[in-house]
Amino acid sequence: MDHETIMKEARRVADELRSDALERDQTKTFPARGIEVLKASPLHGLMIAEHLGGLGGNVRDFVFVVEELANGDPSVAQMYGVHVTAIDTVRGGAPTDVYEAFATDVIRDRLWVSNAQAEIGTKTNRDFRTTLQSVEGGWEMTGTKFYCTGSLAADYFVGGAATGDPAKPFLMYLAKVDQDGVEVVDDWTGMGQRGTASGTVEFKNAHVRAEHAFGLEGLISATELAAVILQGYFTAIFVGIARAALDDAISYVNERARPWPTAGVDRAAEDPLVQLRVGDMHIRLLGAAALLDRATHAMLDAQANATEATRGAASLAMASAKVAATDAVLSITETMFLVCGSSATLEKYDFDRHWRNARTLTLHDAVDHKRRIIGDAVLRDGWPAPGPWS
């Protein structure tokens, strides 16, 4: 399926998601219908190869599909991003035959894949208490995970755990949800991304097949793009939220907002100060979108010609796009209230969801460290070191 057709399907799904996104945010309801729409769509297997039943889409397709979905509902877009990147984590880390068997099952059975990676209460978010213990026929996993986005829809979890083995102290795993020893707890209470079921998953001697535990060697290297793809889908969500907020602001100013008495105009849209602010929001969005577009081309180059230089250029381009998109979405989702006025804060409009969602997601990694990484690379005339966030 070509890029234009893929995007046409993304816009169709986004329209369906948009139809009840406001109500679901207000009621903190899990978007089960939205997930079913995506599972029934060809987008479900976007980056799975065609010979395995998928669309065979590339990273550019993925980033812009996520942006379109986020314009409809960023909560579903995040869960979709997790689904696609979790499958791609198995592709990059597991043996080829293991990945292909899994991907075939995903397509045939319309499986949904979520993450159970992060933990709370440890020294940093890269420290893990969850353990994998070797047993006959595979592994047993015990521990508690949090930020498990999309857990209520999951058929499989992908994440990481400690082994206690000095030779391989940490392994990624692929674990089936519908088995003994796995409990999903819907306890996400974040102010944004409501209804994403980004809460707790408990593992108590849960079985992981031997071939479903694999190392990080194939995921973090001088040529692997897994971390850049992860950064790309978050950046895309920011741009999608910013676009939705700006669209809402423009509609409100044109249809509902009243002019300030001293502005000397008949309509709010004729106020030069409102025009200035809307122009500024538009420019910020265009800048972030342009940098994201540039970064997707760098990712395609890195896939076509996998070298340390092409991978580094893609990482640096995406880091720049993420910083710009973070600044843009936070600015736009706040500034929209300046141009819309006090009535725009009424609960019935739910405009604050744009800022709440953006503020919640933009804390996924520390953007100031991203700025520092960019500055270091520019000063050295080099590339960021490959890692989970670069």
Please write the tens of the pLDDT for every residue from 318-327. Answer: 999 999 999 9
Please tell me the predicted confidence (pLDDT) of residue 186: 95
Cα 293 to Cα 85, 288, 299, 300: the distances in Å are 19, 9, 10, 11
| Per-residue pLDDT at 1 exceeds 90 | no
Domain limit, last residue, from 161, 179, 214: 214
For residues 107 and 30, state if they share a domain: yes
pLDDT in tens, 273-316: 999 999 999 999 999 999 999 999 999 999 999 999 999 999 99
What CATH number is given to the structural domain containing 344? 1.20.140.10
**d(C-alpha 66, C-alpha 318), whole Å:** 15
Which residue do the tokens 């991907």 mark? 103
Give dist(CA 386, CA 390) in Å, integer.
Answer: 6
pLDDT of residue 92: 92
Q: Are residues 318 and 338 in the same domain?
A: yes
The dihedral built from the CA positions of residue 90, 9, 77 and 27, taken in this order, carries a sign that is negative
Structural domain span for residue 61: 3-112
How far from 188 is each of 118, 181, 201, 355, CA to CA, in Å? 14, 21, 11, 18
* Continuous segment of H or E residues that includes residue 373: helix 367-380
Average pLDDT over residues 347-356: 98
CATH of the domain at 78: 1.10.540.10
Q: Is the pTM of this model over 0.75?
A: yes
Sorted by sequence, the CB contacts under 8 Å of residue 213 that are 6+ apart come out as 132, 138, 139, 171, 172, 173, 174
- Whether 72 and 137 map to the same domain: the answer is no
Last residue of a domain, one of 112, 141, 162: 112
Q: Per the domain annotation, does 390 fall within a domain?
A: no
- Please write the tens of the pLDDT for every residue from 142-190: 999 999 999 999 999 999 999 998 888 999 999 999 999 999 999 999 9
Number of other CB atoms surrounding residue 16 within 10 Å: 17
- What's residue 220's pLDDT? 79
Q: 390 falls in which pLDDT band (50, 70, 90)?
A: confident
pLDDT band at 388 (very low <50, low <70, confident <90, very high): confident
The values of phi and psi at residue 25, to 5°, are -65, -45
**Taking a C-beta distance cutoff of 8 angstroms, is the pair 53, 45 a contact?**
yes
Please list the residues that pair with 202 across neighbouring strands. Answer: 144, 183
* Phi, psi for residue 155 in degrees, rounded to 5: -100, -30
The domain total for the chain is 3
* Per-residue pLDDT at 125: 83
- Is the pLDDT at 217 greater than 80? The verdict is no
